[in-house]
A and B are shown apart, each in its own frame.
Chain A
Amino acid sequence: AQTVTQSQPEMSVQEAETVTLSCTYDTSESDYYLFWYKQPPSRQMILVIRQEAYKQQNATENRFSVNFQKAAKSFSLKISDSQLGDAAMYFCAYMGGNKLVFGAGTILRVKS
């Protein structure tokens, strides 16, 4: 079965600085999708960024980018120019078949 590991329960970043959240996964499949979801306090979970495994180019969405290392099964999220609104729980997720598997999440705190 696929598993997703987020080794950082909590992270802090100073406003305007850059932070990287780690994610590793375990799978025997070659074709799959990876996602980062953001869950702000008491608000709905939303998709931040998505990566297709067969695409070598790292996905980017404005201040959010990923470092996808397929051989290492690593999928980290980099947030540049951090803003107060980035404070949230971030979940890494994997979809190979038709089931989304989530990591335990990383709480990101942004300091002003």
Chain B
Amino acid sequence: ETGVTQTPRHLVMGMTNKKSLKCEQHLGHNAMYWYKQSAKKPLELMFVYNFKEQTENNSVPSRFSPECPNSSHLFLHLHTLQPEDSALYLCASSQDRGRSNEQFFGPGTRLTVL
């Protein structure tokens, strides 16, 4: 596979469930990102990892827990979510954190919290 892949593509979970979103990039990039995309709102940056180290947490509630075991993989662990957390969660990667670097996006996971 090429580019940035995300699994699952769709996820429905109850507020008491625990689930994880997975992102994998096949581009040899060093930076990876989680974004939340809600309807009619700008994309919200959630977390940034650079060389496996978390460099940014954009005041995200602790019910979202990221994990980056290596530069190619990024996870978002979910627990006790709220209905307002329903959104499209996008993963992205870039060569590094330089300003000129294009971010490559995955297809997203459509999350519905019941």
Contact = CB atoms under 8 A, between A and B. Distances in A.
A67 B100 CA distance: 19
B45 A44 contact: no
A98 B43 contact: no
Contact of B56 (A31, A50, A99, A101): A99
Interface string B92-114: 00000111101101111000000
A45 B90 contact: yes
A84 B100 CA distance: 30
Interface stretch (A13-21, A73-81, A102-110): A102-110
A27 to B, nearest CB: 12
Contacts of A101: 42
Interface residues of B, number: 20
A45 B103 CA distance: 10
Nearest to B56: A99
Contacts of A102: 42-43
B42 A104 contact: yes
A52 B3 contact: no
Counting contact residues on chain A (CB < 8 A from B), the size range is 20 to 34
B106 A91 contact: no
Nearest to B50: A98
Interface string B6-22: 00000000000000000
Interface in B17-39: none
A100 B97 CA distance: 10
Interface of B: 3-4, 40-43, 45, 48, 56, 90, 97-100, 102-103, 105-108
Given A35-B102, A45-B105, 9 more contacts: A43-B107, A44-B3, A44-B107, A52-B100, A91-B42, A96-B99, A99-B45, A102-B43, A104-B42
26 contacts: A4-B42, A9-B40, A31-B99, A32-B99, A33-B100, A37-B105, A42-B107, A44-B105, A44-B106, A44-B107, A44-B108, A45-B105, A46-B105, A47-B102, A47-B103, A96-B99, A97-B99, A99-B45, A99-B56, A100-B45, A100-B103, A101-B42, A102-B43, A103-B42, A104-B40, A105-B42
